[in-house]
Structure 1
Amino acid sequence: MPLCKKKSGEQADSADAASPVQLQKKITLMNGVSIIVGSIIGSGIFVSPTGIFKEVNSIGASLLVWVLCGVYSFFGAYSYAELGTMIQRSGADYAYFLVAFGPFMAFLRMWCEILVMRPCSQTIIALTFAKYILEPFFTGCQPPIITEKLLAALCLTILTAANCWSIRASTWIQDICTWGKTLALIIIIIAGCVQVGRGKVEFFEEPFADSVMGVGNLVRAFYSGLFAYNGWNYLNCVTGEMKNPQRDLPLAIFISCAIVTVVYVLANAAYFTTVPVAEFVTTPAVAILFAKKISGFLAAVMPIFVSLSTFGGVNGVLLTTSRIFFVAAEEGQMPSFLCMIQQRLLTPLPAVLLVGLISLVYLTIDDIYVLVNYMGFVNWLAIGLSVSIVLYLRVKRPNDPRPVRVPIIFPIVYTMFTVLLCANAFIGAFWECAMGVVIILTAVPVYLIGVAWTNKPKSLLRWTSDLTRLVQKVFLVQLQEDGEAKSEAEKLVAAEEKEA
C-alpha cells in the first residue's frame, strides 16, 4: 500500500521526530492580514482605475462607488468569517459547497475555480509583473512578448519553489510584498496630500457635477470596483493552517477590508489632485502618469512597486489554490497524491507543483484574457452562492456552533445585490456569460467518469495506483497522519491497491 507512512533515518533526522506529517498551523493574524491585503491589492489600483469613472463621470460619484464596493466586499467577507469558523477546514468555497450542496456542486465549483479562473488570473498577474520589471529597459516601446513570457515563467517557477519549500517561506514573501505595495500606495496618498496643501483642489470644487447615476451605469461601475476588491475570500482557503482561526480569521478580514477600502479611496483621490480628468480616463497606467507628474524619482521607482505588488499577487493565488486541490483530493474528487504532504518539508508539494504547472501551460495561450472574461460572471455567481450558504445553514443547522455569528442582514444584502450584478452581466454580455456556463458544464462528464463511476476497470485502477506510487517515490510524500478529513483519500488509495 503506497502510503509511505514510515520515514527513513535521514528524513527523520531532518524533520522533527515528534511532529506528525501534516500541514503545519503557521499562519498568524499578521500573516492572515498580509494574505488578504496582498491578494486584493494587485496591479489594478496602480495601472488603470478608470472603469468606475467612465461609468459615473464624476469624481464624487467615483469615490462613493469605491467606498460602497469596500462596504459590500466587507459584507461578503464577514459572512465568510462565519463559514470559516464554523467549517474550520481549508478549501474555502469548495469546502462550504461540499457541506451545503453535496459533492457534485462542490466539484463544479472546484473545477472552474482551480482549472480556469485562478490559474488564468495567476498567469495574467505574472505577465503584468514581467511587463513592469521590463519597463525601465524598454522605455517608449513594447518589450518582446517572448521576453515577457520567459520572465513571467521565472516568476511562477520561483514562487512555486518557495511554496514547495515551506509555508513560512510563502507567508514571508506575502508579508514583504503586501507591505511593500501598501507603502507604495501610502506614498501616493502622501503625495496627494502635499498637492492638496499646494492648492491643487480645482478638480474637487464640484465633485458630483455631470454625474451619471443610471442603474446600468452604477451596476457596471460596481462590477469594475468589485474586480479591484477581488481576493478577500482567499484566507479561507488556508483556514486549516491558521494558528487560531476562531479569533484571527474574523479579525484579519475586518482589518484587511478596512485597510484596503481606506487606501483605495485615498489613492484615487490623490490621483485626481494631479492627473486631469481627460488624461485619467485614457491612460493605461494612471499611477505611472501620476508619479511622472510628481517627480522623476517617484516615476523611476513606481514600476518596481507595481512589480512587487504583482509578485505578491501571484504568490497569494498559488498558496491558496493549492489548498483547494488538496481538500478536493481528500474527498476523492482529485487524484489521491494531490492531498499528500512532503515528509520533510511538510508542504502539499504535489498540489503546489500542479498549480504552478497549469499556470505555466496558460502562458502558451496567446489571449487568455478571453477566458477570464468568460469566467467573470461565473466567479461572482459562485461567490454569491457561497455567501448564501450562511442563510442555508442558519435554516438547516440552526444549533451548530458558530464562533462568529454575523448579522443576518449581511448575507441577505450581499446575496441580493449579487443577483442584480449577475443578471445585469448576463443581459449586457450574454455570449461571454453563456461561454462561462459552457466551461462549467465541461465538469459534468469529468465528474461522472472520474468520481461517480465507482466500478472502474482494473487496468485503469492499476494505472492510477502506479502513478500514485511513482509520485510518492519521486517526491517522498504521504497522506496526513492526523487522521482528520482524509478518509476518502485513504479509501481511494486502498481501493486502487486492492484492485491492482
Structure 2
Amino acid sequence: MFSITIHITFPGFLSFLNGFNVKATVRLQNVFMFCKIGALVLIILIGVVWMGMGNVEHFQNSFADSNTNPGKIAKAFYSGIFSYSGWSYLNFMTEELKNPFVNLPRAIFISLPLVTGIYVLANMAYLSALTPDELLSSDAIAVTFGNAVLGKFAGILPVMVAISAFGGLSVHIMTSSRMLYVGARNGHFPAMLGHLNLNNLTPLPSLVFLNALSLIMLCTSDIHVLIQYCTIVESLFVTLSVSGLLYLRWKNPKMERPIKVNIAVPIVFVLICIFLLVLPVIESPDIVLGGLGITLTGIPVYFLGIYWKDKPKWFQNFMHKAIVLCQKIFLAAHEDTDFEE
C-alpha cells in the first residue's frame, strides 16, 4: 500500500509543480542534479579507494562465461539506453531555450561525454565491490554497493538514489509534456492538449494527461518488460526520424539547417538502431510484437483524429464541448489567444 501511494503521489506532485511554476521546477531540478552528481562522485571516490586497497579481483577474467548471443546483447542495450534516455529530451525544450541553435548543441556536446564518463567510472566502482552475479541480482545497485562497503553509513546512498530518481522523473515530466503540447499544436494530438494555462503559461492539460498515462503504466509489476516495450518503440521512432533527416540531406542538400552535424554521425546511429531493432525479433519476438502492437494502436486513432477530415456534426460538437470543458477546468487557452482580453 505504501509503495502504491508513493507511485501515485510523486508523479502527481511533480506534475502539479511543473504546471504551477516552471522556474521553481528548474530550481528544484538543479538541486536534484547536484545531489545526483554528488552521489555518483561519492560512489566513484569510494570505488577508487576500494580498488586502491587491492580489491581488484572482480576485474580478473570479468568477461569469462559471457553470453555472446547477439540478440541478448541487443536486449541488454535496452537497459543501458533507458538509463541514458534523457539524451534526446532536451530537444523538446528548444522553444524555451535562449539562443537554442548555439546552446542546444553546446549542452549536448558537454553533457553527453560528461554523463558517459561519470557512469562508466561508477560502474567500475560497482564492479570493484560486487561480483557480476550480485550486480545482476540487485534491484538497486547503488544500495547494494553501499551495503557492501560503507557499513553503518550505507543509509546515505539510498537517500541520494531516491533524490536522483525523483529529479529524473521531474525532467521527464517537464520535457515529455512539451512534446504532447507541440504535437497537439500541430494537429497530431487532441486540440485540448495544445492549450496553455493563462496564469502560468504552462501546458497544464498535457501535464495532467501525461500524469494519467504514467499512472496507468505503473500498474505493471515487471519494470524490465516495461523498459523493453518503451525502448523498442522509442528506438523505432528515433530510427525513422533520423532516417528521415538523412533522406532530406540527400533530397534537399541546400535546405537551411541551423544545427548540422557530419553525415557519418546519423548514418552510424541508424545502423546501431537497426541492430537494436532487428536482433531482438529473434531473441524475444513476444516483446517486439508487444511493442509493435502498442505502436499500431495509434493507426486507427490517426485515421479518426487527423486523416478523417469530414467528421459528422455530432463528433465536432462533442470535441468542441470537451475543449471548452478543458479550458474551464485548467483555465487554459491556445497560445494564439490574446491573453490580455
TM-score between both structures, scaled by the size of structure 1:
0.63
Q: Distance in 2 between matches of 1:255 and 1:435?
A: 36
Give the drift of 1:216: 4.6
Q: Of 161, 166, 184, which aligns to 1:306? A: 161
Letter in 2 for 1:394: R
Q: Distance in 2 between matches of 1:272 and 1:260?
A: 18
| Mapped contact 1:160–1:353 kept (Cα < 8 A) | yes
| Mapped contact 2:39–2:157 kept (Cα < 8 A) | yes
Deviations 1:5-61 (A, max 9, x none): xxxxxxxxxxxxxxxxxxxxxxxxxxxxxxxxxxxxxxxxxxxxxxxxxxxxxxxxx
Aligned CA distance change for structure 1 residues 373 and 225 (closer, same or farther; 3 Å): closer
Q: Distance in 1 between matches of 2:221 and 2:134?
A: 29
Give the drift of 1:265: 1.0
Deviations 1:357-415 (A, max 9, x none): 22234445556764543343222121122222331121232112223321111111111
- The DSSP-based 3-state class of the residue aligned with 1:341 is strand
Q: Distance in 2 between matches of 1:466 and 1:280?
A: 53
Q: Distance in 1 between matches of 2:191 and 2:132?
A: 55
Q: Distance in 2 between matches of 1:223 and 1:391?
A: 24
Aligned CA distance change for structure 1 residues 346 and 456 (closer, same or farther; 3 Å): same
Letter in 2 for 1:293: A
| Mapped contact 1:375–1:433 kept (Cα < 8 A) | no
The within-5 A match list for 1:336-485 is: 336-364=191-219, 370-481=225-336
Letter in 2 for 1:259: L
Asked which structure has the greater RCO (Cα within 8 Å, sep 6+), the reply is 1
Aligned CA distance change for structure 1 residues 345 and 181 (closer, same or farther; 3 Å): same
Q: Distance in 2 between matches of 1:320 and 1:354?
A: 14
**Alignment partner, residue 280 of structure 1:** 135
| Mapped contact 1:274–1:293 kept (Cα < 8 A) | yes
Larger deviation: 251-260 or 359-368?
Answer: 359-368
Letter in 2 for 1:232: W
**Alignment partner, residue 36 of structure 2:** 181
Q: Distance in 1 between matches of 2:169 and 2:78?
A: 22
Give the drift of 1:248: 1.0
Letter in 2 for 1:451: I
Q: Distance in 1 between matches of 2:337 and 2:94?
A: 16
Q: Distance in 2 between matches of 1:474 and 1:225?
A: 40
Aligned CA distance change for structure 1 residues 467 and 262 (closer, same or farther; 3 Å): same
**Alignment partner, residue 99 of structure 2:** 244
Q: Distance in 1 between matches of 2:281 and 2:319?
A: 40
Aligned CA distance change for structure 1 residues 188 and 368 (closer, same or farther; 3 Å): closer
The within-5 A match list for 1:62-77 is: none
Aligned CA distance change for structure 1 residues 275 and 382 (closer, same or farther; 3 Å): same
Q: Distance in 2 between matches of 1:275 and 1:219?
A: 24
| Mapped contact 2:40–2:118 kept (Cα < 8 A) | yes
**Alignment partner, residue 19 of structure 1:** none
Q: Of 177, 180, 205, which aligns to 1:325? A: 180
**Alignment partner, residue 189 of structure 2:** 334
| Mapped contact 1:177–1:311 kept (Cα < 8 A) | yes
Identity among equivalent positions (%) equals 37
The within-5 A match list for 1:208-223 is: 215-216=70-71, 218-223=73-78
Give the drift of 1:230: 2.0
- The DSSP-based 3-state class of the residue aligned with 1:320 is helix
Deviations 1:127-181 (A, max 9, x none): xxxxxxxxxxxxxxxxxxx210111211111101111012212222222212211
Q: Distance in 2 between matches of 1:460 and 1:215?
A: 49
**How many residues end up aligned between the 2 structures?**
338
1:164 aligns with 2:164: no
Aligned CA distance change for structure 1 residues 205 and 438 (closer, same or farther; 3 Å): closer
Gaps of 5+ in 1: 1-145, 484-500
Cα RMSD over matched residues? 2.3
Q: Distance in 1 between matches of 2:214 and 2:43?
A: 32
Aligned CA distance change for structure 1 residues 425 and 218 (closer, same or farther; 3 Å): closer
- The DSSP-based 3-state class of the residue aligned with 1:261 is helix
| Mapped contact 1:192–1:270 kept (Cα < 8 A) | yes
Aligned CA distance change for structure 1 residues 347 and 258 (closer, same or farther; 3 Å): same
- The DSSP-based 3-state class of the residue aligned with 1:404 is coil
Letter in 2 for 1:260: V
Q: Distance in 2 between matches of 1:217 and 1:435?
A: 17
